[in-house]
Structure 1
């Protein structure tokens, strides 16, 4: 079974130097994290490190 990897690219400049953040995330003790969320990411925000554009 072949798997495909897709890299996020900046829609403004086409750079591959992109970072992702989960804005809802906050520091929780590891033993309590399971009680607060099921591990799925609700939303990701992306930011280009080259042109500083952002999108979600």
Structure 2
């Protein structure tokens, strides 16, 4: 089975040095997160480490 990898590119500067985060109103301890979260990401936010641009 072939796997496809897609790299997120900054829309402002074209950098590939991008980080992803799942913004939340509060942080749940990792050992208890399973009790509250089924693992689905509601919203994924990206930030460029070069120009600090943020998008979702």
Query: TM-score normalized by structure 2?
Result: 0.85
CA distance in 2, matches of 1:17, 1:6: 13
CA distance in 2, matches of 1:55, 1:17: 14
Matched with 1:10 is: 10
RMSD of the TM alignment (CA)?
Answer: 1.4
CA pair 37-15 structure 1, distance change in 2 beyond 3 A: same
How many corresponding residue pairs? 55
* CA shift digits 1:12-45 (9 cap, x unpaired): 1110000111111613250x22210101111111
Query: TM-score normalized by structure 1?
Result: 0.85
CA distance in 2, matches of 1:12, 1:19: 14
Q: Which runs of 4+ in 1 moved over 6 A?
A: none
